[in-house]
Amino acid sequence: MYKQKNILLYFLYTVVLFLLVSCGEQTVGDQSVVESESSVIESEKSSQLIEESTVEDTAASRENERLETMTLDEKVGQMFLARYPDEDSLAYAIHYDLGGYIWFAKDFSEKDPQIVQSEINAIQADMPIDLFMAVDEEGGDVVRISSFPQYRKTPFLTPRQAFEEGNWSSVEDLAHEQAMLLKSLGFNLNLAPVVDMPNSSDDFMYHRAFSTELADVTKFTELFVSSYTHDKVGTVLKHFPGYGSNVDTHTGVAYDGRSLETLKERDLIPFQTGIDNGSKAILVAHNVMTAIDPDWPATLSPKVIAILRDDMGFEGIIMTDDLIMDGLQAFATPEEAAVLAVLAGNDVLISSDFLVQIPAVIAAVEDGRIPEEVIDAAVLRILKVKIELGLI
């Protein structure tokens, strides 16, 4: 009996020990599976980060390699978005190594779409780096292309009109249709959207702006820029740091007393939204921001442009409004305006006087007034955007 009892106890002990070991093995097994899965996830994350880093490094390598092969003349030429000439557009592009052309209504009025396409294709085919082909196609009063029936039956509505006649989807549809029209003709850059924040319907910029309400302008900016980015057509946010209630700088000087704090609370927010949603460029206005820099228009002010780079973290292209506008003429000659614009931190100069302004900038680099490193930094940003848009 005693022997049988011992045998039974031994048997029970063995069973319990077996169960304990089995449970321990299962726990270890589960932990091993978890650790294995965790390793796979971490490995995938690392691979993704490496892949993203490799893509960025490859793009950076491409733009740096291209820059190293360029002469000073070629680099300075890249910084000019020249007014499209009435004739010899290819010859001018080659001679001045132009970075781009901006087209106006007169350049479309007597041409059908096929002629525009052929002119653009001929230029791009003969240039070592494709040009920015840019246009102002905002909708409403500013429609360089769709104002002519050979391009579209009716001119594009403003984004605000599209919203009032429909909804937010109507705004997205408008942006998409604009981008597709531009792309079909050979354009890769629209000087839009207008993200200025007017204060009332009496303001100069009111009819071109989307709204006086910050939330509406911010949402519009996000939808518009995202749509264009998806369609691989570049956008240019304008007119930094926002017109507000200012007068038209096409016809005179505009003085603006708003503080930086005031701008940050309202006017700069749509620009930041555009940056965050992939806008490639920002156009700077000629308004004199007296509380920030009373001596120079924003276009020529390093202090104003530093807000974009330092405060807002913008790494894309900063471009001037047209340097021929009256709001700038009171401060500098055409040649001096171009030099000052580069020194202020602009990457691209919209120029109707490129025949004199390009030589002026080259001379300023050669005599040491403009460090060549400033030119190089600007051209790298230009090349980066051109790579992103598939132009290189």
The yes-or-no answer on residue 286 being catalytic is no
**DSSP string covering 358-390, please?**
HHHHHHHHHTTSS-HHHHHHHHHHHHHHHHHTT
How far apart, in whole angstroms, are the C-alpha atoms of residue 221 and residue 345?
A: 24
Bridging pattern class, strands 189-190 and 142-143: unpaired
Burial of 209 (0-12, 13-18, 19+ CB in 10 A): buried
Taking residue 154's Cβ as centre, other Cβ atoms within 10 Å add up to 9
Of these residues, 293, 321, 322, 353, which one is catalytic? 321
Question: Starting at the edge strand that comes first in sequence, how are the strands of the sheet with 234-240 ordered?
Answer: 317-320, 281-284, 234-240, 189-190, 132-135, 100-103, 80-83, 349-351
Query: Encoding tokens for residue 300?
Result: 């020529």
The yes-or-no answer on residue 230 being catalytic is no
How far apart, in whole angstroms, are the C-alpha atoms of residue 269 and residue 312?
A: 10
239 contacts 250 by C-beta, under 8 angstroms? no
Of these residues, 88, 250, 295, 311, which one is catalytic? 250
297 contacts 288 by C-beta, under 8 angstroms? yes
- State how far Cα 186 lies from the chain centre: 18
How far apart, in whole angstroms, are the C-alpha atoms of residue 77 and residue 71?
A: 10
Query: Encoding tokens for residue 343?
Result: 């020194």
What is the C-alpha R_g of the chain?
29
At residue 155, φ and ψ (nearest 5 deg) are -65, 150
Q: Any idea what DSSP says for residue 349? A: E
Please work out, in degrees rounded to the nearest 5, the angle formed at the alpha carbon of residue 128 by the alpha carbons of 127 and 134: 55
Q: Any idea what DSSP says for residue 134? A: E
110 contacts 102 by C-beta, under 8 angstroms? no
Residues acting as catalytic residues = 250, 321
